[in-house]
Amino acid sequence: MTETAALARASTLPASWYRDPEIWERERHAIFAKEWTLFGREAQFPAPGSYLAGEVAGWPVFAIRDRDGALKAFHNVCRHRAGPIVWDGEGRCDVLRCRYHGWVYDTAGNLRRTPDFGEAEDFDKARFSLFPVRVESWRGLVFVNLDADAAPLADWIGALDDETAPYPIEDYRFHGEVVHEIACNWKTYVDNYAEGYHVRDVHPGLDREIDSGAYEVLLKDRYAVHQAPQRSGASYTGLWVWRFPTLALNVYDDGMNVERMVPVGHDRTRLVYNFFFRDTSEAAQDRIAASLAISREVTLEDARICEAVQRNLDAGIYEAGRLSPRHENGVWFFHALVRQALAA
């Protein structure tokens, strides 16, 4: 069936998929344990022993730069009684010492010491290494993957490498991170991101800037490029792209915004924006502030509508709806990828 024919018949995912903790549990394993997930920036690991700890869809994970300068990553779970090896956030350590009873691991994950443990029988330390996690970098961004058999990150990035090639991403300076907590399922937010149909009604300010009626989403290999003409007639030179399941890159000639839609359980989504600018001098501060203010306004508008939609999905009167063949090909594409992952 062609894309046009499929879209003409397309319906949304069932409402239950947006509220059912069992679906979320299936997504954790079928999607988030298999896809590469943006975890941080290379700059957050400036020296041997620099680490960053956080979560990937409920799995506590940390990455650390070892003595040879390589990045390593592990589940942040001690093999004794599941204590944390490092506390969440950034830090630096010389040895990986569990925060609970002090078992010591090296940066290859091997269990080295078990202080004051006593004489346990049949206890082979070699069988109690940290659980490894894959970690690789792309253009200064650090990704992790829980699946030992996953294809390399370069394959996952795929054609996005060529799409972003014209932009000097490595020259952009990190300006700051902005986090928004939204009371909705991660798919509710991604659905909203995947179409420009709502721009006219939800984002009046943005609608004055772009011609939302001509908004287009171009479907590619597990990613989608968004385009909308400027009402001013100025040509749009940036790249506005979403990569399944939860990564978005807004890249411009003078900076970029890297967006993660981090699922926090079945009913909460944490939006994490990392803003980068080419020029962070004093002279550029007004322009940066204006750019951040626009992002905040649009995000708050999105958060408000997504939380309202989630309440209605939770309420139980609505089961599923039809998708606009003109405007919602991105939603259909996203839903197809979710269905495919859960069917596998």
Nearest residue (CB) to ligand FES, 59 versus 189: 59
Handedness of CA 40, 42, 43, 45 (dihedral sign): positive
CA distance 83 to 77: 6
Nearest residue (CB) to ligand FES, 81 versus 311: 81
Strand partners, 74: 62, 132
Please list every residue from 50 through 109 that binds ligand FES, using CB under 6 A.
Answer: 78, 80-81, 83, 98, 100-103
CA distance 314 to 132: 37
Residue 136's Cα: distance from chain center in Å?
A: 15
Nearest residue (CB) to ligand FES, 103 versus 193: 103
Please list every residue from 146 through 205 that binds ligand FES, using CB under 6 A.
Answer: none
Q: Minimum Å distance from CB 264 to ligand FES?
A: 24
Q: Minimum Å distance from CB 124 to ligand FES?
A: 17
Tokens 């179409």 found at: 195
CA distance 211 to 149: 44
CA distance 160 to 157: 5
Residue 16 is classified by DSSP as G
Size of the site for ligand FES (CB under 6 A): 9
Q: Minimum Å distance from CB 55 to ligand FES?
A: 18
Q: Minimum Å distance from CB 127 to ligand FES?
A: 15
Range 112-119 contact pairs with CB under 8 angstroms and sequence separation of 24 or more: 114/80
Nearest residue (CB) to ligand FES, 81 versus 287: 81
* 139 lies in the site for ligand FES, by CB under 6 A: no
Nearest residue (CB) to ligand FES, 77 versus 228: 77
One-letter amino acid of 279: D
Interface residue list for ligand FES (CB under 6 A): 78, 80-81, 83, 98, 100-103
